[in-house]
Chain A
């Protein structure tokens, strides 16, 4: 029986269609639920941003096009000023926190990679805080750093430093310090990723560098760092998104002295959108602000990903080099051992 070319093509086409059908079936449960429960409410909110919308007084709702967005970008509107002000706070915090969120876990992972006894216990202890919810975090740190002498830290050092109070840009630094501390404490996720990445750095590369006369520092710079670049990239992405959306930490770590409740954009949005019925009339404007915020986050994170993908660092220490070096090293070692035994 002859299998014609046409038959074969038809068969391939059928197989392909079957595969696509199967794929469709497999991804539909997830996507149906996703669309129903996540996308549709979001789209509704998206529509609200083009309206003067009050959920409690539907007869007052009307379509006003881009007015809300114009108001968000209006520099003379005091509320919008607050919105954009929160952006600068958040970016400043990001700039400080993100490096810390990578360097501290990197250092810890580096130490861990030296395999001290009991390293599994250390690993567990360092990782543990990141499964604790933000609210509990806030309760713990809030009470530890309470302003007067009844906070743990103040009681220990005999001071009365008001950690968590402060007007914006005055004593606020202390409060941001505490928030940073709380954030670093929960860096467990990044820590573990980096620890594993460090473990996977090929030993051969390290030895090759060592043979070239490299000390610990050059080894770190030219071998370790490039090898763990994918892991660092992931950690960076995660930390960036987390910081841009920063809400829980500053919200809980707040004391009465502090009026700068609206310090990150997410807090700004949450405070008014979920703040109760008094703000209901401005739902449209708030949705517009949230959309603008989301757009900016998307832009920032796309920039970040492009930046990490684009760079291809060339170093001397690639796999091939190590193999070549390693070979010569083995030969040299054998000669040495032979000489010893002789």
Chain B
């Protein structure tokens, strides 16, 4: 006859651990979410409510919920304003940035890890060093080059739009952090796998496509998230390039700054609403890539 086995000591401690950690993490998570809840709640509070009842996370009563702040930048004169156009601008330029970054990172990291050539190590060291360089020096000269080429080219309206976005998308592919992330991952691939593929006669193209890329899936997802966030939230450079151009050309982040300047009345509500709105796409991507991606950070973060 089998009796119910008494739990071993380690099993009991494990169960205690689970309960303790659950309680602690629950409390911490609640506190952790307060700022976000505050942001969302304030975006629905009316201006008066914001000033009179600042202690409440959410609007004080059911009728105080208002969409006025959102309507401010979404609707004008009964029609949907330019937001869809701005969304399109942001989405396509972000998608293009992601593609550019991922492609660049894949092929360059592959070369840096799997191909031997002279100067490889100095390039890596150079990249590491460059991370510490203050990029702010290059902003104004970059704009000078941008303008000189633009004046030399004498483009049409559509051409100018593409030219401006070219300058937004292409440089974003050269982020060093993402490159090093990819390189780290490639280095963590056990060399035996690659060697055995090589001895089976596989050329670099095959190794790249069939072997390395599929393995890198979680790292790629990680880079997708970082690039998406970086490109979507990018403010300074797009603001400079798009300043003074037709407002149809702006990205969401740049356009939303136009609603938060100036008047001090209702500042809080509008800023919260614009922040929530610009966070929505990021949260969507985050939810989609979440699990895979976090596992990805885990494995690439370790080596080197």
Do A and B touch (CB < 8 Å)?
yes
> Within the complex, what minimum Cβ distance (angstroms) separates A172 from chain B?
22
Over the window 121-139 of chain B, the binary record of Cβ atoms lying under 8 Å from chain A Cβ atoms (1 yes, 0 no) is: 0010000011111111111
Number of A-B contacts (CB under 8 A): 238
New contact pairs (13) apart from A26-B107, A41-B138, A152-B38, CB-CB < 8 Å: A31-B108, A41-B137, A111-B24, A111-B25, A114-B20, A124-B286, A125-B33, A143-B271, A150-B51, A154-B54, A156-B55, A244-B132, A266-B134
A-B contact pairs, 21 of them (CB 8 A): A27-B108, A38-B138, A41-B139, A41-B141, A44-B144, A111-B25, A116-B25, A128-B36, A129-B35, A129-B36, A133-B278, A135-B235, A140-B38, A144-B38, A152-B38, A155-B54, A193-B298, A196-B299, A197-B298, A231-B302, A266-B134
Of A33, A42, A108, A230, most buried by chain B (CB within 10 Å of CB) is A42
Say which residue of A119, A120, A231, A298 sits within 8 Å of B132 (CB atoms). A298
Q: Which residues of B contact A223 (CB under 8 A)?
A: none
Say yes or no: A126-B22 contact (C-beta < 8 A), given A26-B108, A30-B104: no
Say yes or no: A196-B295 contact (C-beta < 8 A), given A111-B21, A114-B20, A297-B132: yes
Q: Check A19–B302 contact: CB distance below 8 A.
A: no
Q: Check A140–B57 contact: CB distance below 8 A.
A: no
Q: Check B140–A112 contact: CB distance below 8 A.
A: no
Q: Which residues of B contact A150 (CB under 8 A)?
A: 51, 54
Say yes or no: A33-B173 contact (C-beta < 8 A), given A55-B144, A129-B32: yes
Q: Check B115–A112 contact: CB distance below 8 A.
A: no
Over the window 143-159 of chain A, the binary record of Cβ atoms lying under 8 Å from chain B Cβ atoms (1 yes, 0 no) is: 11010011110111000
Q: Check B21–A192 contact: CB distance below 8 A.
A: no
Q: Which residues of B contact A118 (CB under 8 A)?
A: 22
Over the window 78-110 of chain B, the binary record of Cβ atoms lying under 8 Å from chain A Cβ atoms (1 yes, 0 no) is: 000000000000000000000000001101101
Q: Which residues of B contact A230 (CB under 8 A)?
A: 302-304
Q: Which residues of B contact A155 (CB under 8 A)?
A: 54-55
Inter-chain CA distance A269–B286, complex, in Å, is 33
Q: Check A301–B132 contact: CB distance below 8 A.
A: yes
Q: Check A196–B297 contact: CB distance below 8 A.
A: yes
Q: Check B298–A274 contact: CB distance below 8 A.
A: no
Inter-chain CA distance A270–B294, complex, in Å, is 33
B1-58 contacts to A, CB under 8 A, are 14, 17-22, 24-26, 28-29, 32-33, 35-36, 38-39, 42, 51, 54-55, 57
Say yes or no: A27-B111 contact (C-beta < 8 A), given A112-B25, A301-B132: yes
Q: Check B117–A287 contact: CB distance below 8 A.
A: no
Q: How large is the interface on B (under 10, 10 to 19, 20 to 34, 35 or more residues)?
A: 35 or more
Main secondary structure of the interface of A (DSSP, over half): helix
Main secondary structure of the interface of B (DSSP, over half): helix
Interface residue B212 (Cβ < 8 Å from any Cβ of A): no
> Within the complex, what minimum Cβ distance (angstroms) separates A198 from chain B?
10
List of 3 A-B pairs having minimum Cβ-Cβ separation, nearest first: A196-B298, A45-B137, A155-B55
Q: How large is the interface on A (under 10, 10 to 19, 20 to 34, 35 or more residues)?
A: 35 or more
Q: Check A241–B141 contact: CB distance below 8 A.
A: no
Say which residue of B18, B170, B297 sits within 8 Å of A37 (CB atoms). B170
Q: Which residues of A contact B131 (CB under 8 A)?
A: 241, 301
Q: Which residues of A contact B33 (CB under 8 A)?
A: 125
CB nearest neighbor in B for A40: B145
Over the window 262-296 of chain A, the binary record of Cβ atoms lying under 8 Å from chain B Cβ atoms (1 yes, 0 no) is: 00001001100110000000010001001101100
Interface residue A29 (Cβ < 8 Å from any Cβ of B): yes
Interface residue B275 (Cβ < 8 Å from any Cβ of A): yes
Interface residue B157 (Cβ < 8 Å from any Cβ of A): no
Q: Check A136–B302 contact: CB distance below 8 A.
A: no
> Within the complex, what minimum Cβ distance (angstroms) separates A87 from chain B?
14
Of B20, B123, B134, B302, most buried by chain A (CB within 10 Å of CB) is B134
Q: Check B145–A41 contact: CB distance below 8 A.
A: yes
> Within the complex, what minimum Cβ distance (angstroms) separates B196 from chain A?
19
